[in-house]
Structure 1
Amino acid sequence: MSEKPDLAALIGSRICHDLISPIGAIGNGVELMMMDRASASPELALIAESVASANARIRFFRVAFGAAGSDQRIARSEVVQVLTDMTRGGRLQIDWQSPVELPRREVKLAFLLLQCLETAMAWGGRIRITRSEPGWTMDAAAARLKIDPALWEVLTEPHAPPEIGAGQVHFALVPGELQAQSRRLMADVKADSIRLTF
């Protein structure tokens, strides 16, 4: 019997697919306008920066929330480019260390967990993500963290949080993805650091 389709992931893929082309077209248009020195302005530069940020976020969401088949692969260079574009000018620094090519499904889980770390690192910090033979390690460090214990408990305990908003949906998606990949997450959460292994 075939596996039941993940409708939420298919919806995520569809939304990202439909948005990425028009946002890319806007970016191209802004780039052409900026080539004309007469029309270049700080306002246009701000639009260009916003379009680039939106484009990077959609590419990130496409992996994190979209459908990922067991045989699909993604290149490390693509992952690093998405993360570089997404964090440019921000307070968060991400160091991604992995083999040249990865199963897209594994990157999907890493991106969902990366969003969990991002939620805790409201004031910025550094994240190092490493894929080695035993598995994945994500080390986050910051001067201070914003930890909601109930949300973090969801990642390692098989129950849903009492209430969850759109801004925390990644926490609710992690347990299902761990189960789909037959992985177990270990989380070591401290006052100024978080280590995730899976």
Structure 2
Amino acid sequence: MTQSPLTIATLVGSRICHDLISPVGAIHNGIELISIAGPIDSPELTLIADSVTNAASRIKFFRVAFGNTVGEQMVGAPEAAKTAADAFAGGRSAVNWQANGDLPRAEVQAAYLAVLCIESALHRGGTITVTGDDHGIRVTGEGGRVACEPELWQPLATGEVPEGLRPAHVQFALLVMAVAELGRTLSTATRETDVSISF
């Protein structure tokens, strides 16, 4: 049986995230062992502890966004919200997950990919809000300056995979394929201070 391009891409994503989380987890455990002997009050150890926490949070988010979805796996709203919020904690943008109820993992994946697309347009950061339910999702980004690159957003608006993608923008291609797999229609709206993706 021939695997779809989306399946191959997400299998690669799952493999990379799986291999990365083990060493990051080992470093985190090491920091916890050090903290047992006394509080972590040196700048060096604090930096390492914060970096490991941030790395683990991003990997967990990427595991859903870029990883393989199997069957009818469901993701609870609290877990989806925490994973997204933790991944962007301390960054220029914040994610506010307001989607209702548990959602299929494939739908959460598409929402996370939309979050990454919108993050790329918020050059000065902002707030990214996810609303909706298992009948439809809307992801909106608001910030002081929205800059949507036409070569990425014009194809997205028509459900086409953008050409000549750079690694930083692979989420645009995967979003198109993920939404198609859901049997949904992708739509976008871009303005000066906000941008949204719906499916």
Q: TM-score surpassing 0.5?
A: yes
1:115-140 Cα offsets, whole Å, 9 max, x none, are: 00111112110111112364111121
Partner of 1:132: 133
* Aligned-pair CA distance for 1:91: 2.1
CA contact (8 A) 1:74 1:102 kept: yes
Letter in structure 1 aligned against 2:9: A
Give the TM-score, by structure 1 length: 0.91
Letter in structure 2 aligned against 1:25: A
1:57 paired with 2:48, answer no
Partner of 1:152: 153
CA contact (8 A) 1:121 1:144 kept: yes
Partner of 2:3: 4
Whole-angstrom distance in 2 between the partners of 1:114 and 1:70: 23
CA contact (8 A) 2:74 2:102 kept: yes
User: Post-superposition, which runs of at least 4 consecutive aligned residues in structure 1 deviate over 2 A?
Assistant: 2-5, 34-40, 156-162
Partner of 2:79: 78
SS at match of 1:107: helix
1:163-195 Cα offsets, whole Å, 9 max, x none, are: 111001111111111111111111110111012
CA contact (8 A) 2:118 2:196 kept: no
Q: Specify whether residues 159 and 39 from structure 1 end up closer, same or farther in structure 2 by C-alpha distance, changes over 3 A only.
A: closer
Give the TM-score, by structure 2 length: 0.91
The alignment covers a number of residue pairs equal to: 197
Partner of 1:15: 16
Identity of aligned residues (%): 38
Whole-angstrom distance in 2 between the partners of 1:162 and 1:3: 23
Partner of 1:120: 121
Which structure 1 residue ranges, 5 or more long, are not aligned? Answer: none
Whole-angstrom distance in 1 between the partners of 2:138 and 2:8: 29
Whole-angstrom distance in 2 between the partners of 1:38 and 1:93: 29
Whole-angstrom distance in 2 between the partners of 1:161 and 1:133: 27
CA contact (8 A) 1:154 1:175 kept: no
* Aligned-pair CA distance for 1:28: 1.6
SS at match of 1:187: strand
CA contact (8 A) 1:52 1:85 kept: no
Q: Specify whether residues 125 and 80 from structure 1 end up closer, same or farther in structure 2 by C-alpha distance, changes over 3 A only.
A: same
Q: Specify whether residues 104 and 44 from structure 1 end up closer, same or farther in structure 2 by C-alpha distance, changes over 3 A only.
A: same
